[in-house]
Amino acid sequence: MTKLKLGPIAEDKPVKVTVELPAPLHRDLTRYAEILGREAGKSATDPLRLIVPMLERFIATDRGFAKAKHERKD
């Protein structure tokens, strides 16, 4: 069995998502956006704009997912 970073998730149609974040996570996202902006020489990015790239990065670096995705194509 493949070891993924996430457990089973029910399939459903794509939907627009509204998410409530724990305050500490929102503070971390805000701080991350500030640091990212500073390093790029720009003002802070909206922290909510970080969520999609972070999720994409998470999925892209999940070796278990990549292996299972590849096996499914065969």
Backbone angles phi, psi at 64, to 5 degrees: -60, -40
- The token duo for 7 is 């457990």
Backbone angles phi, psi at 22, to 5 degrees: -60, 145
pTM of the entire structure? 0.67
* pLDDT of the residue at 74: 54
Digit-coded pLDDT (tens) for 10-53? 666 767 889 999 999 999 999 988 888 888 888 888 888 888 88
Going by C-beta distance under 8 Å and a sequence separation of 6 or more, which residues neighbour residue 3? 64
Cα→Cα distances 72→3, 20, 24, 65, Å: 15, 33, 37, 10
Has residue 4 got a pLDDT over 70?
Answer: no
Residue 6 banded pLDDT, cuts 50, 70, 90:
low
